[in-house]
Amino acid sequence: MSTRPRILTGDTPTGRLHIGHWVGSLENRVRLQDTYDCYFLIANMHAFTTRAEKPAEVRRDTLEIVKDWLAVGIDPERSTLVLQTEIPAIAELSWYFAMLVPFNRVMRNPTLKAEIEAKELGDHYSFGFPLYAVGQCADILAFRPELVPVGEDQEAHIEMCREIARRFDHLYCGVASTTADNEYVTRGGVFPVPKALLGRISRLLGTDGVKKMSKSLDNAIFLSDDTATILKKCKKIVTGRQSATDPGKLEGNALFQYARAFMTDTARLAELEGLYTRGEIGDGAVKQEVAGVIDAFLAPVRDRRAQYEGANGDALILEILRAHTVRANTVAEETLRMAKAAMHLDFGPRRLQFD
């Protein structure tokens, strides 16, 4: 096993990933592969919290998200893909952790609250829905990572995870609750108190120019979009500017947020910003150029994705997932063994078998 410090993060498979995911988290993940032992989790069990009646869709999205990850440069040789439903230790830890956090504390989690509102779940969400927040703590702690690279919207979950780690270590490993977060393990705790690592841009606007980019709002540029689609979507970006000679505003402008996120030619970016604020260039010309930049960024992503498309693609993905499940379980089972021993639940070893 690698001796590099570990990170864990993941996504719920809900459909194709977009450029907001790239700047919010994927970019970080790809970079962190150089220095960390990386675990990337596909939260396919969590997908059932809101789509229990659509198992075929969840399965399709599970394979699709892996294709998107590999396409952007997640390297299956260096990093480990964690298929949540194949890691029994996660479900087991979820139970133990559920006992360490008051029910009312879970329900006060602002990310859960926001989701209930955004998805209009009212008061008819399942019992499993709020449980997923505790489950997410198990996803993370099963791998005892140092860092959890996520978007801003996940910070509340990471905070709860930190509370559970401290509580477990205090209760079952005798770590004083005054201990500094980075010393829980050296003082004998099973779990480190992991830190969230936020992406470069936590809120990429959608092409509607107002809301955060999101598949369900129909304002997203997907990582798998082709050249023509990207151009068409960029042409529709709402900037609110009336005419090409109006002095343009850069702040809160989706078009320039994309330009800043994806233009590597900083001199040209500065030039465009100058022309725009002085009213010397039209939206159309900027949109054309930004579309070109996004397309150039996505071209190699599409190429890499192509090798996983078609009938053979799914088989290839499944093969990778199976091999990685073995690797992931090695770590998660070790964690579970340590946690159960601390809880006086060491009733003998067990071995998972895959065949």
Instruction: Kindly tell me which of 114 and 299 has the beta carbon lying closer to ligand TRP.
Output: 114
Count CB neighbours of 124 within 10 A: 7
**Least distance in Å: CB of 10 to ligand TRP?**
4
Closest CA to 196 of 169, 168, 160: 160
- Please answer whether residues 72 and 223 qualify as being in contact, where contact means their C-beta atoms are separated by less than 8 angstroms: yes
**Least distance in Å: CB of 111 to ligand TRP?**
8
Instruction: Kindly tell me which of 11 and 333 has the beta carbon lying closer to ligand TRP.
Output: 11
Across 113-229, the runs of DSSP E, i.e. the strands, are 147-150, 195-198
Q: Which two tokens stand for residue 315?
A: 């088989």
**Least distance in Å: CB of 259 to ligand TRP?**
26
Instruction: Kindly tell me which of 131 and 238 has the beta carbon lying closer to ligand TRP.
Output: 131
Question: Burial code of 155-166, b = ≥16 C-beta within 10 A, e = fewer?
Answer: bbbbebbbebbb
Instruction: Kindly tell me which of 149 and 248 has the beta carbon lying closer to ligand TRP.
Output: 149
Q: Looking at this protein, which amino acid is placed at residue 57?
A: E
Dihedral sign for Cα atoms in the order 32, 305, 12, 322:
negative
Enumerate residues 6+ apart whose C-beta is below 8 A from 101: 134, 160, 163, 164, 167
Instruction: Kindly tell me which of 10 and 189 has the beta carbon lying closer to ligand TRP.
Output: 10
Q: Which two tokens stand for residue 56?
A: 């075929």
Instruction: Kindly tell me which of 9 and 325 has the beta carbon lying closer to ligand TRP.
Output: 9
**Least distance in Å: CB of 157 to ligand TRP?**
6
**Least distance in Å: CB of 49 to ligand TRP?**
10
**Least distance in Å: CB of 65 to ligand TRP?**
11
Q: How far from 299 is each of 243, 260, 309, 317, 332, CA to CA, in Å?
A: 32, 19, 15, 21, 36
**Least distance in Å: CB of 133 to ligand TRP?**
8
| Residue carrying structure tokens 């930190």 | 162
Count CB neighbours of 37 within 10 A: 21
Residue nearest to ligand TRP (CB): 43
Q: Which two tokens stand for residue 207?
A: 């092409």
Closest CA to 192 of 8, 48, 39, 1: 8
Residues at the interface with ligand TRP (CB under 6 A): 8-12, 41, 43, 46, 136, 139-140, 148, 150, 154
Instruction: Kindly tell me which of 65 and 254 has the beta carbon lying closer to ligand TRP.
Output: 65
